[in-house]
Structure 1
Amino acid sequence: MDGDAVRERAAKLPREPGVYQFQTVESPRDHGGTTGDRAAETVVYVGKAVDLRDRVRSYADPRGERIRRMVERADRIDYSVTDTETQALLLEANLIKRFQPRYNVRLKDDKSYPLVQLTDHEFPRIEITRDPDPEATARRRADGGATAADPGVAGPRVFGPFTEKTRVETVVKALRETYGVRGCSDHKFSNRDRPCLDYDIGLCTAPCTGEIGRESYLADVESVVRFFEGETGVLADPLGREMERAAENREFERAANLRDRLDAVEGFHGGAGEAVASRGDERSVDVLGVALEGDSATVARLHSESGQLVERDRFEVSVPEGDADTRAGAVLSAFVPQYYAERELPDALLLSERPDAEVLEWLDREGVAARVPGAGREATLLDLALKNARRGASEPDALAALRDALGLDAVPRRIEGFDVSHAQGTAAVGSDVAFENGSADKSGYRRKKLDDRNDDYANMYDLVRWRAERALAGRDDRSDPDLLLIDGGAGQLGAARDALADAGWDVPAIALAKDEELVVTPDATYDWPSDAAHLHVLQRVRDEAHRFAVQYHQSLRDDISTELDNVPGVGPATRRKLLRRFGSVEGLRAASAAELREVDGVGEKTAETLLTRL
């Protein structure tokens, strides 16, 4: 886009708070598709604004080289309106995590803030989500509609984001109890011939079976919309009346429960905000220090409870390409909302630099005291955090050594390991384990059932191709790895690289063979010293991938119905022991009576029966 195109688009935007996205649009033919396929949109930058029109217009004359390149690359600008500046701040954090835009500072994890969505069905459903219905949004765009956040447009309505999921859940349950809006899936809704349990306990008015007409139901939905648009009394008033009735009837436990619910409702739109805690009340304190180096930054966090340092960790943050001189304050402005997306905020934040005013205002509204220490114990804690950050950014470690040894472009902070396991072609499975900064990230583990065949190369090809296609299609919610490690030798590595090439996923891949611990790359084979720290990193990933694959394979194999099921004296426990010892029924057939008796639970009579039956 050029300056004139940006100004023309900005003139059509509202003067309201919100979030804007610069996007590129690629033809389907760029990806091997046909003219009938939908164009592919890629988000390259996400920003927030108090006034969308003024903020987007400023990009017509970009002040920095990085922003100028971003604007030139973009083909269109999309936007979403929010009710408040705080919502714009949190929605921006959500979208950065979801799309990982090239020109944004971003924390490499997948946490996000909850939103509340009312779907665009004939009888709308209310739900808490972190990813609003993309298909409904696409349908509305195709029909010429605006985005889901635009007011006055039919279709799914999304409210939020919100910082406290527990409070959101409390409010949504109270809304359902008051107005009976359904929360069931489409499948359950369309296949009912009588009301479900939600109707019996007062959570739903059962539009699925005609217990309420559409006009009355939509009136209740509109009351829910009014609440999320700021009309707190829509829910607070009936809750207050119900609480008073419970107290009059001496139902004190129910009255207390309603009181707590009423507190959550009245505080939902900021009416019950806490004052900023004084230093004497700050039981939990987080200290954040930033170190910048090249195209990355490291944020070190120290966590203190009641004056005692109880936790410390480090996080890698991506700095936009060509923007290595990004201020530490800008890094903190991006890090704080993204990191605390799904974590409890502390009473106080001690920071190495001041973040943007919007972040400080948000922290203030959330009751968090944010400051940059000048002297004393707080300054000492901050110095410690900065030392931890610089250690993460600068000191040579095992991952940096691995980068140098392999000639990689960047430190492989995230490594994924792959292995396959089967028993002579049966119960074939694949594992995909993830390591972040040298430590196992078990939330990133995945496994896959493969076609049964006795071909390790074909199995590895299918496993890596599956991972690559999911990543390219946006169906995998994990960050892309910096390095793939294949359990095996040159053959397995070749199969994996073929899969990457066929899928079009550009990720470096190497292999580690078990017998001689040789590291195999496309260009060379390395025999590193057995005490090399960077070799130990690869061994940990390889061994974990192997363990995870074998574990899944054994669980599948133990569940397979075999000819052992009909052998007298062989129960499920003995069957599992036999299959683990001999690998398969074919292995059992080749065993002698003496070998069979070595298995715990197999006596002479059972061994003879096995030999006869098999």
Structure 2
Amino acid sequence: MNADGVRERAGSLPREPGVYQFREDDTTLYVGKAVDLRDRVRSYADPRSARIRRMVDRADDIEIAVTDTETQALLLEANLIKRHQPRYNVRLKDDKSYPMIQLTAHEAPKIEITRDPDGEAKGAPGASGPTVFGPFTNKGQVETVVKALRETYGVRGCSDHKYAGRDRPCLDYEMGLCTAPCTREIDLESYGEDVTAVERFLEGETGILADPLRREMEAAAQDQNFERAANLRDRLETVEAFHGEGGEAVQSVGDERAVDVLGVAIEGEDATVARLRAEDGKLIDRDRHTLEAPATEDGEAVPSVLAAFIVQYYAERRLPDALLLPERHGDAEVAAWLDTEGVAVRVPGAGREAKLVDLALKNARRNAGRRDECGMLADALDLDAARRIEGFDVSHAQGKSAVGSNVTFVDGSAEKADYRRKKLTDQNDDYDNMRTLLEWRARRAVEGRDDRPDPDLLLIDGGEGQLEAARDALADAGWDVPAVGLAKAEERVITPRREFSWPSDAPHLHLLQRVRDEAHRFAVQYHQTIRDEVKTVLDDVKGVGPETRKRLLGRFGSVENVREASVEDLRSVEGIGEKTAETIKSRL
């Protein structure tokens, strides 16, 4: 697209806030936000950098989406960047998209909170796509509003699979959360009127939900049901704030009680942002995040990374009272947003705050280059990427207290917020246990019940048998994610086509070993918790209480191993004397 083409397209755009996308065929090259769409898009007729000029030359179309507020434009831009991963944007790669509210395109639409809507275009139920509202930043607020909408208008929240073929209403009907269109307890025409009322609220007509809540609150107070009235009052406040000034932007509180400090390190096209959190003058948290930072003109790289990180990271989190930065981010819209939210932004030059920024920079630099092992692994396995890896293992005691673990690593570091675990049916079959565990994970992903992004790679703790069982489960569920196994004995990496024996000092092998070992640790830890909750024959042994039983099982692993232990071995456990040891041996 040349300069004349950009000017011509810009001339037809509205002078309203919104988001624009430069597109090449079906690919999004760049996503931007604008207070005035016409002026912003027109500026691309004379790009400021060679990188942007190349992007404009490649583009063959410009798409726009008008928003009600500048804050909405800011959030929608971040959401689209995460979804499309445009080549010419700075992208935060290890975070989640923002929640939206979706009414599905179904004869009886359901309402749901989603981070990955079925379609981007907003359309009426029954049309080609769903009706989507958002993005929103406060997930708790969204959940409160959706529950209030369901209680007031009875819109269903079940999956289409559960909706189909029912002969009686489910528990949601009994609880007053759904009017049961599945069994025609309500006819579809009346149900459609309720869905329309929900849409009117989400489009900005606050009173359509606030008024019935207020009436219910007043009635509860009249009946002296004060606890119910208080709950309704809190819900009403949330509903009334839902369409307030600045849309869904989160509010900061306090007098700089919470301060976040950011440091940036850039290596090639990879950037690391380290975040330190201080509350009441004490450091309480540290984390690091990876972004992809395309080349920019000299002096623009760090500001671009900071601006991208701030909006993509904080848009759905509680903002701190102050942000300490190594340098100015230089984005007017981001600055206006932070100013509206009352966030103080400083670039300290000396003193304690400057030392905190230096510490954040050191944390960022420590992580710079860490993604090399992820890149090496991707190259070795011929994958597009290997930055997000999920590891799986199972643990049991001769088939008892069987559990499975699912750990997540992002850019070589454990992402503990994305760990999951599952109780399994007791059976002494590692292959079937692994198949069950992977089928559980895969079906949750396919059905949209897991809010984590799909990983680049699945790592199975085990050899060919465990890997084959896992791949069978993935195929049955229709989840297309590559999987490999790591066998402990010889540290062989097993793929469906071949095996690898990498050098023991290979960084990409160390990465897989860290994931495998963490999956094993997490599985064993959960197994021990479950096992210690189960009544055993040890409970009937005189002199063996809960703590002694826990120490015995922790030392020997199972009741069977305790049975086989000698009196001398039993005495080696803290708190067990000769008499108790002989009693245990005799009783078992």
TM-score range normalised by the length of the shorter chain = 0.5 to 0.7
Please list every run of 5 or more consecutive structure 2 residues that lacks an aligned counterpart in the other structure: 396-403, 425-430, 432-440, 469-479, 527-557, 559-584
Cα 1:149–1:247 shift into 2, 3 Å = same
Name 2:438's counterpart in structure 1.
none
Cα 1:445–1:301 shift into 2, 3 Å = closer
Name 1:332's counterpart in structure 2.
306
Name 2:121's counterpart in structure 1.
148
- 8 Å CA contact 1:485–1:512 kept in 2: the answer is no
Name 1:461's counterpart in structure 2.
none
Helix, strand or coil: the match of 1:267? helix
Paired residue for 2:292, among 318, 325, 339? Answer: 318
Helix, strand or coil: the match of 2:208? helix
Alignment of 1:20 onto 2:5: no
Alignment of 1:354 onto 2:339: no
What's the CA shift for 1:258? 1.1
Stretch deviating more after TM superposition (96-105 or 192-201): 192-201
Q: Alpha-carbon deviations, 1:519-561, whole Å to 9, x = none?
A: 9998985778xxxx98755643454577799999xxxxxxxxx
What's the CA shift for 1:72? 3.4
What's the CA shift for 1:229? 1.9
Name 2:49's counterpart in structure 1.
64
Cα 1:121–1:512 shift into 2, 3 Å = closer
Name 2:410's counterpart in structure 1.
436
Instruction: Report the AA paired with residue 22 of structure 2.
Output: F
Q: Alpha-carbon deviations, 1:333-374, whole Å to 9, x = none?
A: 211232235543323322242352222333344454434345
- 8 Å CA contact 2:388–2:410 kept in 1: the answer is yes
Partners of 2:133 and 2:378 lie apart in 1 by 47
Cα 1:527–1:64 shift into 2, 3 Å = closer
Paired residue for 1:161, among 118, 130, 135? Answer: 135
Q: Alpha-carbon deviations, 1:9-53, whole Å to 9, x = none?
A: 55555544333333444xxxxxxxxxxxxxxx4333222233444
Helix, strand or coil: the match of 2:79? helix
Partners of 2:377 and 2:130 lie apart in 1 by 49
What's the CA shift for 1:88? 2.0
Cα 1:282–1:273 shift into 2, 3 Å = farther
Alignment of 1:391 onto 2:376: no
Alpha-carbon RMSD across the aligned residues, in angstroms, is 6.1
TM-score computed with the length of structure 1 as normaliser: 0.65
- 8 Å CA contact 2:167–2:183 kept in 1: the answer is yes
Paired residue for 1:186, among 160, 176, 180? Answer: 160
Cα 1:418–1:387 shift into 2, 3 Å = same
- 8 Å CA contact 1:21–1:46 kept in 2: the answer is yes
Instruction: Report the AA paired with residue 18 of structure 1.
Output: G
Partners of 1:256 and 1:431 lie apart in 2 by 41
Partners of 2:61 and 2:156 lie apart in 1 by 37
Partners of 1:207 and 1:488 lie apart in 2 by 47
Helix, strand or coil: the match of 2:88? coil
What's the CA shift for 1:261? 0.8
Name 1:49's counterpart in structure 2.
34
Identity of aligned residues (%): 66
Partners of 2:251 and 2:121 lie apart in 1 by 37
Stretch deviating more after TM superposition (362-371 or 540-549): 540-549
What's the CA shift for 1:210? 3.4
Cα 1:415–1:117 shift into 2, 3 Å = closer
Alignment of 1:259 onto 2:244: no
Helix, strand or coil: the match of 2:368? helix
Q: Alpha-carbon deviations, 1:44-64, whole Å to 9, x = none?
A: 322223344443344344332
- 8 Å CA contact 2:105–2:126 kept in 1: the answer is no
Alignment of 1:83 onto 2:68: yes
Partners of 2:58 and 2:205 lie apart in 1 by 42
Instruction: Report the AA paired with residue 20 of structure 2.
Output: Y
Name 1:30's counterpart in structure 2.
none
Alignment of 1:201 onto 2:175: yes
- 8 Å CA contact 1:277–1:347 kept in 2: the answer is no
- 8 Å CA contact 1:354–1:371 kept in 2: the answer is no
Stretch deviating more after TM superposition (107-116 or 385-394): 385-394
Stretch deviating more after TM superposition (432-441 or 309-318): 432-441
Partners of 2:158 and 2:375 lie apart in 1 by 53
Stretch deviating more after TM superposition (158-167 or 401-410): 401-410
What's the CA shift for 1:297? 1.6
Partners of 2:141 and 2:178 lie apart in 1 by 20
Name 1:93's counterpart in structure 2.
78
Helix, strand or coil: the match of 2:157? coil
TM-score computed with the length of structure 2 as normaliser: 0.67
Paired residue for 1:372, among 347, 362, 381? Answer: 347
Name 2:102's counterpart in structure 1.
117
Counterparts of residues 221-236 of structure 1 (less than 5 Å): 221-236=195-210
Cα 1:15–1:420 shift into 2, 3 Å = same
Counterparts of residues 429-508 of structure 1 (less than 5 Å): 435-441=409-415, 478=453
Name 2:535's counterpart in structure 1.
none
- 8 Å CA contact 1:487–1:542 kept in 2: the answer is yes
Q: Alpha-carbon deviations, 1:427-461, whole Å to 9, x = none?
A: xxx999753354334677899x9xxxxxx9xxxxx
- 8 Å CA contact 1:276–1:369 kept in 2: the answer is no
Q: Alpha-carbon deviations, 1:62-106, whole Å to 9, x = none?
A: 332222222333444444333322122212222222232222111
Cα 1:329–1:390 shift into 2, 3 Å = same
